[in-house]
Structure 1
Amino acid sequence: MEKVFRVHKDDVTVEGINSLIIFYVNRKNTLINFMHNLDRALKEYRNNELVADFKSQCSEPMMITSLEVYERFVACCFTRNIFKEIRNEQRAEALNIKVLCTVFDKVEFSMTVLGDLTKDRRVKVDRSKNMFSCSCKLFESRGISCSHIFGAIKFENLLKFPESLIYKRWTKNIKNDFISTTMM
Structure 2
Amino acid sequence: MDLWGNKWVSKTYENRSSWVAAYFRDRFFARIRTISQCEAVNSTMKTYIDNKSSIFEFIHKFELALRGYRNNELKAHFNSLYSKPFLTTSLPDMDAGKIYTTKIFNEVKEQSAEACALFVTKQVVNGDRLIFKLTKHCDPSTEMKVGCDTSKSIFSCGCRRFELLDIPCSHILCVMKVEHVDHIPSSLILKRWTKETKSAFVSSVSSKGVDSDAMKLA
**TM bucket by the smaller chain?**
0.7 to 0.9
Per-residue CA distance 1:2-22 (angstroms, 9 max, x = gap): xxxxxxxxxx95644311454
Structure 2 residue aligned with 1:50: 74
Q: Deviations over 1:107-131 (max 9, x none)?
A: 1111111111232111111111110
Partner of 1:119: 142
CA distance in 1, matches of 2:146, 2:52: 52
Say whether the 8 Å CA contact 2:86–2:93 is kept in structure 1: no
Aligned to 1:162: 185
Q: Could you list the structure 1 runs, at least 4 aligned residues long, displaced by more than 4 angstroms after superposition.
A: 24-27, 33-37
Which whole-Å CA distance do the structure 1 matches of 2:98 and 2:105 have between them? Answer: 9
Checking the alignment, whether the CA contact within 8 Å between 1:99 and 1:107 is kept in structure 2 is no
Q: Number of paired residues?
A: 171
Q: 1:81 aligns with which of 66, 80, 103?
A: 103
- More off after superposition, 90-99 vs 35-44: 35-44
The change in CA–CA distance for 1:89 and 1:29 in structure 2 (over 3 A counts) is: farther
Structure 2 vs 1, CA of residues 156 and 62 (structure 1 numbering), >3 Å: closer, same or farther?
closer
From the CA coordinates, give the structure whose radius of gyration is larger.
2
**Which residues of 2 match residues 1-184 of structure 1 at below 5 A?**
13=32, 15-23=35-43, 24=45, 28=51, 30=53, 32=55, 35-70=59-94, 73-90=95-112, 91-182=114-205, 183=207
Question: Partner of 1:4 in structure 2?
Answer: none
Any conservation in 2 of the 1:110–1:120 contact (CA below 8 Å)?
A: yes
For structure 1, which segment, 79-88 or 30-39, has the greater mean C-alpha deviation from structure 2 after superposition? 30-39
Question: Structure 2: 5+ residue runs without aligned partners?
Answer: 1-30, 209-218
What TM-score results when the alignment is normalised by the length of structure 2? 0.69
CA contact (8 A) 1:92 1:154 kept: no
After TM superposition, the score normalised by the length of structure 1 is 0.81
Gaps of 5+ in 1: 1-11
Superposition deviation, residue 43 in structure 1:
1.5
